[in-house]
Structure 1
Amino acid sequence: MRKVLIADDDFISLEVLKAMLTNFDIELLTAMNGQEALEQAEQRPELIFLDYEMPDMSGAEVCRQLRQSEKHKKTPIIAITSHQSASEMSACREAGMDATLHKPVSPEALSELMSEYLQ
Structure 2
Amino acid sequence: MTSILIADDDFISLEVLKAMLSQFPVTVHTASNGPEAIALAENIQPALIILDYEMPAMTGAEACQQLRLQPQFADTPIIALTGHQSPTELNACRVAGMNETLYKPVSPEALAATLASYLPQLAK
TM (norm. structure 2) is 0.95
Deviations along 1:79-113, one digit per CA (max 9) or x if unpaired, are: 00000000100000000000000001100000000
Aligned to 2:30, what secondary structure does the other structure show? strand
- 2:74 equivalent in structure 1: 73
Give the aligned CA root-mean-square deviation in angstroms: 0.5
Count of aligned residue pairs for this structure pair: 119
| Unpaired segments ≥5 residues, structure 2 | none
Runs of at least 4 residues off by over 2 Å: none
Q: Matched residues in 2 for 1:114 and 1:90: separation?
A: 22
Aligned to 1:23, what secondary structure does the other structure show? coil
Deviations along 1:16-69, one digit per CA (max 9) or x if unpaired, are: 000000000011111011111001101100000000000110000000000000
% identity of equivalent residues: 61
Q: Matched residues in 2 for 1:27 and 1:59: separation?
A: 21
- 1:108 equivalent in structure 2: 109
Q: Matched residues in 1 for 2:47 and 2:25: separation?
A: 13
| Unpaired segments ≥5 residues, structure 1 | none
- 1:11 equivalent in structure 2: 11
- 2:100 equivalent in structure 1: 99
For 1:24, give the aligned amino acid.
F
- 1:35 equivalent in structure 2: 35
